Structures are given as structure tokens and as C-alpha cells.
Amino acid sequence: MARFARLLTVSPRWGILCVSITFLFSLSSFTLRAQDSSYARRIIRDLSSEEMFGRGMQNRGDSIAAEYLRQEMMANGVKPLCKNYFQYFRFPQTRTKPPIVKAGYQSQNVCGYIPGETDTMIVFTAHYEHLGMNGDTVFYGAHDNASGTAAVMDLARMANLQRGHYTYVFLLFSGEESGLVGSRYFSENPLIQLSKVKLLVNIDLFCGGADGLMVVNANSRETRPFVDKLEAINDLHGFAAKIARRDNAANSDHYWFTSECPAIFIYTMGGPFGGYHSPTDTCDGCGLGNYHRHMTLLRAFLEQL
Ligand SMILES: [Zn+2]
């Protein structure tokens, strides 16, 4: 809103007119830039392909996916937050059920940013790894969470086309399915100054959405004004069927950040998606019929921060 604020100092009446025109223009420019879900579909299809082995630790599926996402960040003009975009960490515990992993296995978060006019940051997060394999069974993880990863990369792509006031940070975590391991490591070894984060938005489960969007950690003093704004925009335009709210829960990667900065977690409600923690969670099962409207809502919301 900083550039709108300058307009408002000229004359309130003209300011309001300019704000309205600018807002409508902004909306139409997202519409042009995000007019379909083809970019997200490609990312989801690639991440949930056989070649990624369910993005778990067997056959280094997590690392194959991380390298793919590093290339995608480079293609979208996202700069590295650390050497080669990779923040390495090791799993503290052995697991014998999916995601199967040995203690000490090294994985990586993929971390980048797009600078803005200020070093105040809006952070987007999603976990890219999934359950991997159990014997010959592949857990493809299109809904969980190739879809959220695709949405974060799509936001990066659009942020690069239209640079803005805030610095945008993109964190793609590994180890979520093993107990939020990668995001915990990042929160304890942050590559950014968390006190400068205006808002962190975690996206996990973004296929379907016939019944709208759920916001987790929506009721804290720090986050409620943001969720009110999101809901007000949605009430005006009807992008999502509904915006629902939940209290905080340790159910995804936003959790470790909630004591450091305003952090919310958004997931879709309702189908279609192929399954949850099941080999049926495939790209073909991932409905993206609501994707464009949900992304337009997020973009409109970001324009008003
Ligand atoms: Zn997930």
C-alpha cells in the first residue's frame, strides 16, 4: 500500500479514485498473468512423477525434487538465500514407516528471495517432500504438497514479473512429513531476520477447494487483522467459496514461526483431489478448477498489504 499512500496525499478525492483504478488495474493484470493453471499443472505433474520416487528419502527422491525446484527458482528470477539455494540439515531420528528415513540422512530446504523496495519481508512456505516409497508403492503426493509448492513457485513467477514494495522470500521445506523437521531447522537457523517478517503464509494442500479455504492460526492478535483483510476482499469478489478460520495447530510448517512473526497456514477445503497420504494422491486426481480464483485472491490480498 505504500505507493497508494503517496497518491492519497495529493487529494483525498483523487486519491480514492486512483486507489480504485489502481486496484482494478492490478486485479486485471493478475488476471492476465495468471489466466490459467498451466504453470501449476506442470510443476505438480513433474513433482508427482515416477522419477521423483514420491519425494521421499528412497533413491534420494527429496534431492531430485530439490534440484528441480532450484532450477525453477533460477528460471523465475529468484535469488539464492544461501549457497546453491540449499540449506542442509540431517534427520534426527530413524523412521520405519513412510516417510522411511535413517537418522543422520541429509536433506535440504530450498530457499530464495526476490528483493523489493524495502527489507520488510513477506514469506511464502510449502513443503516439497512427501512420503516417498514403501516397497514398490509410490506415494506421489500431488495434493500433499506438490500443489502448495506449485502455488508458491507461481507466486514467485508473478512477483518476478511485477516487483513490489516488500521483499518476497520463498522457502520450500523438506522433512515436514517426519515431524516438521526442515522448517524447525530453518526456524532455529534462520537465513533471514524473522523480526522483519510482516507475514508468513504457508500453503500445504492446494488441489480442489470446492468448499473454499481454511486459514490456520487465524485467531491470534497478530494474525487476525490479516485474515480479516483476506476475508473482506473475498466478500467483495467471491474468489473462494468461503474463508474459514482455525486456531493454531502444529499441523504444518508455519508452526515454528508463530512465536517469531505473524504466520498463517492456508489449505483448501473440499475436492477434488486424489487422496490423502495414499498412493491415489496423483496429479490426475488434483483438481485445479478453483486454482486461478484462489491465486487471484492471494494476489489481491498481497497488493493490499
Ligand atoms: Zn503436507
* pLDDT over 70 at 263, yes or no: yes
- According to the 3-state scheme, what is the secondary structure of 5-41? HHHHCCCHHHHHHHHHHHHHHHHHHHHHHCCCCHHHH
What is the band of 41 on the pLDDT scale with cuts at 50, 70, 90?
Answer: very high
Cα 281 to ligand 1 centroid, rounded to whole Å:
12
Question: Beta 243-246 vs 263-269: how paired, if at all?
Answer: unpaired
User: What are the tens digits of pLDDT across the range 195-215?
Assistant: 999 999 999 999 999 999 999
User: What are the tens digits of pLDDT across the range 132-169?
Assistant: 999 999 999 999 999 999 999 999 999 988 778 999 99
Q: What is the model's pLDDT at position 161?
A: 81
Cα 126 to ligand 1 centroid, rounded to whole Å:
8
Cα 205 to ligand 1 centroid, rounded to whole Å:
6
What is the band of 273 on the pLDDT scale with cuts at 50, 70, 90?
Answer: very high
Q: For residues 26 and 297, give the distance between their C-alpha atoms in angstroms, rounded to a whole number.
A: 12
Burial of 14 (0-12, 13-18, 19+ CB in 10 A): exposed
Q: What is the model's pLDDT at position 164?
A: 85
Domain boundaries, given as residue ranges, for the chain:
34-303
CA atoms within 13 A on the CB side of 144: 20
Nearest to 47 by CA among 117, 150, 122: 150
User: What are the tens digits of pLDDT across the range 2-37?
Assistant: 222 222 333 333 444 444 444 444 544 444 444 589
CATH superfamily entry for domain 34-303: Zn peptidases (3.40.630.10)
Cα 127 to ligand 1 centroid, rounded to whole Å:
7
Q: Confirm if 111 and 87 have CB atoms less than 8 A apart.
A: yes
Q: What is the model's pLDDT at position 160?
A: 86
Average pLDDT for 160-187: 95
Cα 144 to ligand 1 centroid, rounded to whole Å:
5
